[in-house]
């Protein structure tokens, strides 16, 4: 190897950085003891800044562009080195490239619920999560405050600290906003901007800024959400009395359509019918004369099982091609007295085979006994 090859290996005359990692914030130019040639070329690309550190002291900062490393381009370095205008010798310096582009789609979220006072629900616990972006605005300050002598600093090394700052500001903003929980979804954009502004005040001391911050969701605990869903359902139901009657009618209709189903009202009705049939069979069985003796013998107290309570039917009424109801028997009695229904009115209940006239239903025929029958046709 010739002397000129040896000397060229000792001096660095082209300085640049190309990053393809997408998460590196700061990278130190590796010179491995090589000296920088006076007049070397420094290339700083868009989205970068180059910071020179000489003997532990922060020196010149270069923004995007192509530079010749000479005394007129390095005023701070020249002052630190006491260079004169005739200086031409190589020099040593650490060079840090800082990525000044945005780091996007960074996640944040509340680890613990945020206690807030809602004007409608009272004290509530909220959780929130979303995304944010961050970028370096002051390379020199970021290098001195955060990076130090780290030769390759990534976004992961500071993201945890930024998330803590975000959660702190989100807690203060949500708790002090006075916005009802039900209206927060309509104000997430404004809340996100407010949080980003407050967080940026802290990040400025690190040489960072937060261009964007998004609140994707603000949620209540699952138990509170379930109660809120019930409250919404009650509001949709309107009159709770009618809603209860309707629910009972729907349940009995489902039981009638599924006689073999398990549990619920259908099972209760089936059990009651089974016990009633068993009692009838016992009374009309082939044992004949033994029945009085069996009846006379007292049944053990432990074996006595009370019969199930009777199931009250609810009825639907057909009038002018429309279905009304469900109505209880007592309600139909009042309607009969008021003349709102007659013997010829069609009625139906769960388990009944089609629509029937009210007078043809044994349970309802008695409602019309106090009314005179229709006049005979002359």
Q: What is the DSSP letter of 278?
A: H
**pLDDT averaged over every residue in the chain:** 78
- CB atoms inside a 10 Å sphere around CB 299: 9
Q: Which tops the pLDDT comparison, 279 or 148?
A: 148
Rounded Cα distance between 13 and 41, Å, is: 6
Instruction: Identify the CATH class of 103-224.
Output: alpha beta
Which pLDDT score is estimated for 184? Answer: 87
Are 328 and 245 in contact, with CB atoms under 8 Å apart? Answer: yes
**pTM greater than 0.75:** no
Q: Which residues contact 180 (CB under 8 A, 6 or more apart)?
A: 118, 119, 120
pLDDT band at 220 (very low <50, low <70, confident <90, very high): confident
pLDDT tens, residue by residue, 40-83: 899 999 999 999 988 888 888 999 999 988 877 787 777 777 66
300-339 pLDDT per residue, tens = 555 566 776 666 778 888 888 788 888 888 888 888 888 8
Chain center to CA of 249: 36
Using an 8 Å Cβ cutoff, are 310 and 363 in contact? no
Inform me whether the pLDDT recorded for 208 exceeds 70: yes
Could you tell me which residues are beta bridge partners of residue 67? Answer: 42
pLDDT confidence of 243, banded at 50, 70, 90? low
Query: How is residue 220 annotated by DSSP?
Result: -
Write the CB contacts of 249 (distance below 8 Å, at least 6 apart in sequence): 314, 316, 325, 326, 350
109 pLDDT tier (thresholds 50, 70, 90): very high
Q: Choose the most confident range, by mean pLDDT, from 128-137, 226-235, 335-344.
A: 128-137
Q: What does the alpha-carbon distance between residue 249 and residue 315 come to, in Å, rounded to a whole number?
A: 8
Are residues 341 and 356 in contact, defined by beta-carbon separation less than 8 angstroms?
A: no
State how far the Cα of 241 lies from the Cα of 355, in Å rounded to an integer: 25
> 28: how many CB neighbours lie within 10 A of its CB?
18
34-50 pLDDT per residue, tens: 678 888 899 999 999 99
Residue 90's φ and ψ, nearest 5 degrees, are -65, 160
User: If one looks up domain 238-259+312-373 in CATH, what number appears?
Assistant: 3.30.1490.40
């Amino acid at each position: 190897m010739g002397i000129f090859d040896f000397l060229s290996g000792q001096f660095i005359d082209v300085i640049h950085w190309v990053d393809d990692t997408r998460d590196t914030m700061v990278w130190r130019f590796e010179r491995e003891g090589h000296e920088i040639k006076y007049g070397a070329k420094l290339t700083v690309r868009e989205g970068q800044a180059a910071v020179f550190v000489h003997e532990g002291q922060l020196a010149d900062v270069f923004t995007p562009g192509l530079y010749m490393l000479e005394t007129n381009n390095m005023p701070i370095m020249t002052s630190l080195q006491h260079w004169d205008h005739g200086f031409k010798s190589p020099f040593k310096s650490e060079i840090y490239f800082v990525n000044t582009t945005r780091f996007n789609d960074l996640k944040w979220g509340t680890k613990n619920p945020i206690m807030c006072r809602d004007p409608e629900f009272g004290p509530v616990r909220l959780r929130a999560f979303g995304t944010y972006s961050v970028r370096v605005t002051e390379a020199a300050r970021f290098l001195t405050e955060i990076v130090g002598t780290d030769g390759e600093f990534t976004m992961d090394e500071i993201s945890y600290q930024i998330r803590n700052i975000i959660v702190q500001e989100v807690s203060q903003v949500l708790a002090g906003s006075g916005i009802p929980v039900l209206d927060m979804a309509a104000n997430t954009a404004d809340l996100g901007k407010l949080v980003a502004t407050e967080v940026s005040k802290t990040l400025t001391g690190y040489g960072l800024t937060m261009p964007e911050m998004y609140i994707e969701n603000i949620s209540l605990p699952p138990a509170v959400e379930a109660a809120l869903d019930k409250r919404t359902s009650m509001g949709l139901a309107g009159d709770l009395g009618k809603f209860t009657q309707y629910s009972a009618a729907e349940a009995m209709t489902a039981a009638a359509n599924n006689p073999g189903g398990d549990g619920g009202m259908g099972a209760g009705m089936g059990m009651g019918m089974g016990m009633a049939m068993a009692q009838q069979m016992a009374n009309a069985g082939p044992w004949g004369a033994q029945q009085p003796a069996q009846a006379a013998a007292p049944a053990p107290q432990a074996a006595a099982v009370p019969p199930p309570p009777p199931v009250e039917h609810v009825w639907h009424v057909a009038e002018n091609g429309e279905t009304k109801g469900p109505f209880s028997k007592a309600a139909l009695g009042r309607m009969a007295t008021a003349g709102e229904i007659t013997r010829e009115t069609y009625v139906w209940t769960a388990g009944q085979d089609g629509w029937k006239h009210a007078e043809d239903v044994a349970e309802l025929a008695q409602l019309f006994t106090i009314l005179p029958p229709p006049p005979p046709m002359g």
